Amino acid sequence: MNRPVRVAVVGLGYWGPNLARALEEVDNVHVTWLCDMRRETVDRVGRRHPGAARTTQVDDVLDDDGVDAVVVATPISTHYPLALAALSAGKHTFVEKPLTTSSRQAVALARLAAEQGLVLMPGHTFLYSPPVRAVKRLIEEGALGEIYFVSTSRVNLGIHQADVSVAWDLGPHDFSILRYWLGENPTWVTALTRSCVLPDVPDVAFVNAKFPSGSIAHVELSWLAPSKLRRTTVVGSRQMVVYDDTSNEPVRIFDSGVSLPDFGSYGEHRLSYRTGDIISPRIASDEPLVVEFTDFVAAIREGRKPVSHIDLGIDVVRVVEAVERSLADLGARTSVEADIELEAA
Amino acid sequence: MNRPVRVAVVGLGYWGPNLARALEEVDNVHVTWLCDMRRETVDRVGRRHPGAARTTQVDDVLDDDGVDAVVVATPISTHYPLALAALSAGKHTFVEKPLTTSSRQAVALARLAAEQGLVLMPGHTFLYSPPVRAVKRLIEEGALGEIYFVSTSRVNLGIHQADVSVAWDLGPHDFSILRYWLGENPTWVTALTRSCVLPDVPDVAFVNAKFPSGSIAHVELSWLAPSKLRRTTVVGSRQMVVYDDTSNEPVRIFDSGVSLPDFGSYGEHRLSYRTGDIISPRIASDEPLVVEFTDFVAAIREGRKPVSHIDLGIDVVRVVEAVERSLADLGARTSVEADIELEAA
Amino acid sequence: MNRPVRVAVVGLGYWGPNLARALEEVDNVHVTWLCDMRRETVDRVGRRHPGAARTTQVDDVLDDDGVDAVVVATPISTHYPLALAALSAGKHTFVEKPLTTSSRQAVALARLAAEQGLVLMPGHTFLYSPPVRAVKRLIEEGALGEIYFVSTSRVNLGIHQADVSVAWDLGPHDFSILRYWLGENPTWVTALTRSCVLPDVPDVAFVNAKFPSGSIAHVELSWLAPSKLRRTTVVGSRQMVVYDDTSNEPVRIFDSGVSLPDFGSYGEHRLSYRTGDIISPRIASDEPLVVEFTDFVAAIREGRKPVSHIDLGIDVVRVVEAVERSLADLGARTSVEADIELEAA
Amino acid sequence: MNRPVRVAVVGLGYWGPNLARALEEVDNVHVTWLCDMRRETVDRVGRRHPGAARTTQVDDVLDDDGVDAVVVATPISTHYPLALAALSAGKHTFVEKPLTTSSRQAVALARLAAEQGLVLMPGHTFLYSPPVRAVKRLIEEGALGEIYFVSTSRVNLGIHQADVSVAWDLGPHDFSILRYWLGENPTWVTALTRSCVLPDVPDVAFVNAKFPSGSIAHVELSWLAPSKLRRTTVVGSRQMVVYDDTSNEPVRIFDSGVSLPDFGSYGEHRLSYRTGDIISPRIASDEPLVVEFTDFVAAIREGRKPVSHIDLGIDVVRVVEAVERSLADLGARTSVEADIELEAA
């Protein structure tokens, strides 16, 4: 396929217009359709994309044989039916995170895509953010040693969606990053939340997660806080890293560690702490959305797996599901099982 | 009692000498004995306290009718027998935190003290720290409104004790502060830990706690981290507070909040965030240890309850016990019950 | 004048397009012309302003009777001839800072504007920045007491212009802010600079300034630095303020001060320092450029003096002139005199 | 000399007791005398040094043949007569900074010491501070390239001495560091100060300094400020360094620089800024005072020049003298000349 990849954007609310803009910045991509239920919205966004047709009917998009791929940026509850329709119409499909509201749906979509030979990609944009990739490289190179634990806080003053908890809204960011960095999904989680402002809309969540390798993680998610905070600490046996998305120095590497202790008398002893240099590596300023869509287009053209791949997307949904089950069970320990039934099928 | 209160300090390891020094700075207190199993230690510390007698035998202290009170600063596992002996000998007793290694023991000591009319006080020094008291005042005055949640990280590069987990070592600080601020103990906890450096010595713990009032809390405890961190966020319905023990501005009050949302179309809406001034109130620089012993002495002289009182100390032990039970049960939700059997007795 | 004010923007390089955009956001203003010597530039910027005519000839603008006001955003050396032509053509004129490259020219423009009854306004945008105004209010209310001194660092990694020193490029920001806050111009300055990168283009300047009231100031200007820095400290007899344009808390008020000393023996004594609360007041987020043009338009409609008024603009040019004379005289103390000859004329 | 060096400390006010304590921590040094005019002071400090004799008469010290060296920590105005007497009595002499209140006196002392073959060392302790030495190494290794400029702020809320300006009190710190780092003394200075609190006691000073190599520096000194501040920026052609004595990361190296510009059209161009990693090297935690006295003792034993050597001490006095002359001349540019007369003699 030497011609431009022709992409339709479906859903032009808060986030969709950003996706349309970023798509235009990718080489050899053409935004051919803009679609939203609200005529006014389509027209407003459409003015910035004179080359794109506008519609309020998604069928106009799906019936157009000239469309190669559909980008779905609608409310979460509509992800599944829209992605199903797009794949059924033979379109490569990009779905904003989270992929679906159940892993059963996510697995069904994945199967359909595989059967049709189509790319189905969940939009975990943070995996394309330069500091997240820098930490991934450090882990892969072994610079951090064994990963003992990860502690992360994501606090975002912003949108409340009446049908979605903070776990579904913010959780996929951290669960996708952990899946990417550690290369594994948690075995089980426990979660504690509260619906502080609106009844039955959890707006703060404390999630603990245990991984097969022995690593553990804590994830704090909140829509309520004195100030925006995005701080992740990765503690390894060799080095430690602090990743702070809001800082001018988003990755700081601490060449510190703990040595085996000198045992003293009376059962008391001090570990010997090694303190070394701190390095803030220069981090590229590539825009994650553009890198993400470049990867999506390459996956379409070359038939290869994107970094934000479908198994990762399914795993993220499984973690959020487990978090929600733990909440429903008042914080009980809850397995993050692969869906046995579907797997066995 | 107009004469000085005569105090013996038992245990002169890492912390005991600090206690002895602080006692000397309290009005109308006399340090009469210094006691440690190690002769060399007693002599070294003793040179700074020429007015105190020295011994390696705790019985010398307990047999001295001139001793009004005993301060116990020995390894945790010896707290119970030493406090039991001191109370049995008719001495007011101050025990470094945590009071004991089981709530059963703690309750037994409390009963003995009550029967004898003696003060038994656990050494929760943070309750006497000026920023912790400043936050307490804000809560009591209603400045924060309803307390939605508390999130706290305590990371201390330091002593490992072979017989004690990070939960027993650092946990009592945060659990005592939460008990003091909120005036209640958690109903249940879940805890996830790992023994990263030494086998079977948990050195990182993520604890979630649910309180009767509906407040929730997360407590992160660790001996491993890139840098010392002590940061507590208290989110209330009216204002929010950040308390950072390591900062030049240890208490920062955010006059921020969330208003009821404007509901938009399509089920999406934004909460209206109120942003106001930020205030760093001037915090006194009183030394917590001196204030704490002043309270201990006043409790002895006036027969009143100290701020760090025995019920609070028992409650703290109950939380750590529940944390340990949750760990043993692989992170399961665990009740922080009052000891039914003893209570009923 | 009830109809919109019709404004032409002349000069569409780095800064001009921002001005055009901001003008469109002011009520009852119409951008009627866009002018730049470069056809390609006019066309590129013009696409965002479909209602504006485009030209590469400034005479097209000046000959149009429908134009009420001209905004000049060209290189500094052309400010004088363009403003002269605009005023001569009967247009109200806004000139980007610095007004001109000599106070003689600035005074000549001011006279012409006064004779013609036209508004001539220098573009000192920082005077419209919410934190700068907040500090102005604190000074006016007397909250700071007597202003002892101001120390400011402005470090901007950015544009070098081959015909302009850092003093002409960055200096007008700080000299206009000082003139606004203190209500007076320096009596004299001393300046030390260096041309580090390009020969004869000073890229770092240390300026000391003495004011009639007794206040003193230091202004550090630099295009070379490890990181962007904009930090101003205002020390008054009652309170102190730190203004940092790059911070989330751009104004911080320190309720601190110095009391008369307790004289001790041997000629040694300590001042008694008063330490109080620190307050970060909520600062509005109005865009300075929009507020500035709103003031420009109000000055035109109502015939009143804008906050960034012409006398202030002349004074700023006089300070930069004095700085340049001090440099030429190897850092000697140099008077910031009003231009006697012209004043007397 | 294999026996301990026997040292007398003269002057036990604010700083002297620290010197006595640090001396005791140096190998093979014996504090033999403690001397202060105030009997009570001598006795109080003496209790911590049971091995030292006590006196209120400096002649007791000077007459004692067993004394090898005298450490002078008295008020500045007495430095000269005391050092003169000590050298005349054949003692090696350490004088707290500044060495004397005039360069004439400083040179006279230096000559006397040279004639007698004695060590005369000014106490510029910052030259022994690990971060200052780390920056010195970076400069010597050429890591920073050519030093374009240094900008430094030293703000200390503290002691006012009625007979001393902020330039004499705090200036020697920065002027000694600059002399050490750059290996040269300024050619000339300009200084602007104000006596804000006490009449005729300047408590804020802005000093600009020009060096023979072309480097320039700004030094801000103040006893009045919202908070303690010690921040020095060194901008070189290759790298830049920020040294902050109050930070946990006292030295930060910015691998940044400026490349020759790409010239654009219309005389406007942007420099190309190179942005690289930021490194906070691990800095040793040696106590400067102990390192300084170790150097003093080595100079005595081995007859070599200490790092804080006498020519540097004289140069520092010359800079402060020039600053004071500039002040007296209302901020005029003032040469930092070597004292021609004395040199010629």
The pLDDT, as a whole number, for residue B341 is 46
d(CA A249, CA A240): 15
- Worst-scoring range by mean pLDDT, A102-106, C161-165, C295-299? C161-165
Q: Which of A48-62, A103-117, B192-206, D171-185 has the lowest mean pLDDT?
A: B192-206
Per-residue pLDDT, averaged over C283-292, amounts to 94
Rg (CA), chain D: 22
The confidence score (pLDDT) of residue B258 equals 65
The pLDDT of residue C339: 53
Element (H, E) at B92: strand B92-96
Q: Which helix (H) or strand (E) holds C173?
A: helix C171-182
Q: How many CA atoms lie within 13 A of B7 on its CB side?
A: 30
Contacts of B179 (CB under 8 A, 6+ apart): B185, B312, B315, B316, B319
B64: tokens are 């001295």
Q: At which residue do the structure tokens 């109903």 appear?
A: B187
Judge whether B32 and B23 are in contact, CB under 8 Å.
Answer: no
Q: What is the pLDDT of residues B282-301, one digit of tens each?
A: 999 899 999 999 999 999 99
User: In this structure, are residues A233 and A244 in contact, taking their beta carbons and an 8 Å threshold?
Assistant: no
Angle between helix axes D79-88 and D103-116 (nearest 10 degrees) is 10
Identify the sign of the CA torsion A169, A175, A181, A184.
Answer: negative
Which residue of chain D is at minimal alpha-carbon distance from A280?
A: D278
User: Across the interface, do D279 and A282 touch by the CB < 8 Å criterion?
Assistant: no
Chain B residues within 8 Å of chain C (Cβ atoms): 249, 255, 275-282
Q: Which chains touch B (3 or more CB pairs under 8 A)?
A: A, C
- What local confidence, expressed as pLDDT, does residue C265 receive? 44
Residue A226: name the closest of C284, B253, C282 by CA: B253
| Sequence-ordered list of residues with C-beta below 8 angstroms from that of C328, at least 6 positions apart, any chain | none
Given pLDDT bands bounded at 50, 70 and 90, which one contains residue A289? Answer: very high
Instruction: Search chain A and give the residue with CA nearest B146.
Output: A196
Contact of A94 with A121, CB cutoff 8 Å: yes
- Asked if the Cβ–Cβ distance from A157 to B273 is below 8 Å, we say yes
Interface contact C204-D333, CB threshold 8 A: no
Neighboring chain C residues of B278 at a CB cutoff of 8 Å: 249, 279-280
Q: What is the mean pLDDT of residues B111-119?
A: 97
Is C225 within 8 Å of D235 when comparing Cβ atoms? yes
- C-alpha gyration radius of chain C: 22
Nearest-Cα distance to chain D for A255, in Å, is: 9
Residue D218 half-sphere exposure, CB side, CA atoms within 13 Å? 28
* Spacing of C-alpha A91 from chain mean position: 22
Residue C259 in this model has a pLDDT that exceeds 70: no
User: Would the CB atoms of A162 and B267 count as touching at under 8 Å?
Assistant: yes
Q: Write down the pLDDT at residue A344.
A: 41
pLDDT confidence band for B7 (50 / 70 / 90): very high
Contact yes or no for D136/D128 (Cβ under 8 A): no
Give A198's contacts in chain B (Cβ within 8 Å). 261
Contact criterion met (CB < 8 Å) for D159 and C332: no
Residue B314 scores a pLDDT above 80: yes
Per cent of chain D over pLDDT 90 is: 76
Q: What pLDDT does C88 receive?
A: 98
Which stretch of A118-122, A141-145, B267-271, D18-22 has the lowest confidence by average pLDDT? B267-271
Those residues whose C-beta lies under 8 Å from the C-beta of residue B183, and which sit 6 or more positions away, are none
Chains A & B: contacts with CB separation below 8 Å:
183
CA dihedral D237, D240, D243, D247 (to 10 degrees): 180
**pTM of the entire predicted model:** 0.90
- Phi then psi for C57, rounded to 5 degrees? -115, 120
Q: What are phi and psi of B177, to 5 degrees?
A: -65, -45
**Contacts of the segment D298-307: beta carbons below 8 A, 24+ positions apart:** D299/D92, D299/D119, D299/D121, D300/D1, D300/D5, D300/D68, D300/D69, D300/D92, D300/D119, D301/D1, D301/D5, D306/D119, D306/D121, D307/D127, D307/D128, D307/D180
D163 vs C contacts (CB less than 8 Å): 267
Q: What pLDDT shows up at residue C338?
A: 65
* Chain C residues whose beta carbon lies within 8 Å of the beta carbon of residue B276: 282
A260 vs A318, higher pLDDT: A318
C156 pLDDT above the threshold of 80: no
Average pLDDT, chain C: 90
Which residue among C276, C278, C281 places its CB closest to the CB of B249?
A: C278
The residue-averaged pLDDT of D333-343 equals: 68
CA distance B298 to chain A (A): 34
Taking contacts as CB-CB distances below 8 angstroms, the residues of chain D near A277 are: 279-282
Instruction: List all residues 6 or more positions away from A68 whose beta carbon is below 8 Å from its beta carbon.
Output: A1, A5, A6, A7, A91, A92, A300
* C206–D188 CB contact, under 8 Å: no
pLDDT for residue D272: 60
Q: What is the 3-state secondary structure (H, E, C) of A256-300?
A: CEEEEEEECHHHEEEEEEECCCEEECCCCCCCHHHHHHHHHHHHH
Task: For residues C103-127, give the mean pLDDT.
Answer: 97
Interface test with C, best of D204, D218, D259 (most C CBs within 10 A): D218
Residue of D nearest to C156 (CA): D273
Mutate to test the interface with A, among B39, B96, B146, B149 (most CBs of A within 10 A): B149
Q: How many alpha carbons fall within 13 Å on the CB side of residue B86?
A: 30
Residue-level pLDDT at B163: 67
Chain D residue numbers with beta carbons less than 8 Å from the beta carbon of A255 are: 282
Are the beta carbons of B269 and A162 separated by less than 8 Å? yes
Report DSSP state, residue A146. Answer: S
Residue of B277, B280, B281 lying closest to C281 (CB–CB): B277
pLDDT in tens, D27-65: 999 999 999 999 999 999 998 898 999 999 999 999 999
CB contact under 8 A, C331 and D190: yes
Residue of B165, B334, B167 lying closest to A190 (CA atoms): B334
Rounded Cα–Cα distance for residues C122 and A86 (Å): 57
Binning pLDDT at 50, 70 and 90, where does residue C74 land?
very high
Closest residue in D to C241 (Cα) is D226
Of residues C275, C276, C280, nearest to B277 (C-beta) = C280
Mean of pLDDT values over C327-341: 77
pLDDT at D338: 65
Give the rounded percent of residues in chain A with a pLDDT score beyond 70: 90
* Chain A, nearest residue to B256 by Cα: A226
Determine if the peptide bond prior to A98 is cis (ω within 30°): yes
Residue of D nearest to C259 (CA): D197
Question: What string of H, E and C letters represents the secondary structure of chain D?
Answer: CCCCEEEEEECCCCCHHHHHHHHHCCCCEEEEEEECCCHHHHHHHHCCCCCCEEECCHHHHHCCCCCCEEEECCCHHHHHHHHHHHHHCCCEEEEECCCCCCHHHHHHHHHHHHHHCCCEEEECHHHHCHHHHHHHHHHHCCCCCCEEEEEEEEECCCEEECCCCHHHHCHHHHHHHHHHHHCCCCCEEEEEEECCCCCCCCCEEEEEEECCCCCEEEEEEECCCCCCEEEEEEEECCCEEEEECCCCCCEEEECCEEEEEEECHHHEEEEEEECCCEEECCCCCCCHHHHHHHHHHHHHHHCCCCCCCHHHHHHHHHHHHHHHHHHHCCCCCEECCCCHHHHHC
pLDDT band at A276 (very low <50, low <70, confident <90, very high): confident
How do A159-161 and B268-274 pair as beta strands?
Answer: antiparallel
Quickly tell me which residue has 């002043």 as its tokens. Answer: B294
Angle at B11 between CA B6 and CA B15, to 5 degrees: 100
* Residues B279, C275: C-beta atoms closer than 8 Å: no
Kindly report which listed range (A141-145, A162-166, A286-290) carries the lowest average pLDDT score: A162-166
Instruction: Say whether A267 and B75 touch across the interface (CB within 8 A).
Output: yes
Residues pairing with B35 in the sheet = B10, B55
CB within 8 Å: B235 and A226: yes
Q: Residue A264 — very low, low, confident or very high, per pLDDT cuts 50/70/90?
A: very low
- Closest C-chain CA to B274: C282
**For position A162, what pLDDT does the model report?**
60
Contact B267, A162 (CB under 8 A): yes
The mean-pLDDT minimum among A37-41, B225-229, C55-59, C144-148 falls in B225-229
Nearest neighbour of B280 by CB, restricted to C278, C281, C282: C278
Instruction: Pull the structure tokens for residue D58.
Output: 């400096």
Q: Chain C: residue nearest D329 by CA? A: C333
Long-range Cβ pairs for the range B62-68 (8 Å, 24+): B62/B86, B62/B89, B62/B91, B63/B89, B64/B8, B64/B32, B64/B33, B66/B6, B66/B32, B67/B6, B67/B7, B67/B8, B67/B32, B67/B33, B67/B91, B68/B1, B68/B5, B68/B6, B68/B7, B68/B92, B68/B300
First to last CA, chain C: 35
**Length of chain A (residues):** 345
Interface with chain A: mutation pick from B258, B263, B278, B329, highest number of A CBs within 10 Å: B258
pLDDT-based confidence at residue D341 (cuts at 50, 70, 90): very low
Q: Which residue has the higher pLDDT, C164 or B95?
A: B95
H or E stretch including A232? strand A229-236
Nearest CA in chain C to D278: C226
Cα distance between residue D142 and residue D156, in whole Å = 32
Contact (CB<8Å) A281/D277: yes
pLDDT of residue B272: 60
Predicted confidence band of residue B255 (pLDDT cuts 50, 70, 90):
confident
Instruction: Compute CA distances D77 → A109, B215, D83, D100, whole Å.
Output: 87, 64, 11, 7
Count of Cβ atoms closer than 10 Å to residue B54 Cβ:
18
Query: Chain D contacts of C161, Cβ < 8 Å?
Result: 267-269
Tell me whether residues B233 and A224 touch, CB distance under 8 A: no
Closest alpha carbon to C318 in C201, C147, C215, C184: C184
Which residues does chain A have within 8 Å of residue D279's beta carbon, measured at their own beta carbons? 277-280
Q: Would you state the pLDDT for residue D233? A: 94
Chains adjacent to C (≥3 CB pairs closer than 8 angstroms): B, D
Question: Across the interface, do C149 and D233 touch by the CB < 8 Å criterion?
Answer: no
Instruction: Determine the pLDDT at residue D257.
Output: 66
Tokens, residue B1: 């009692």
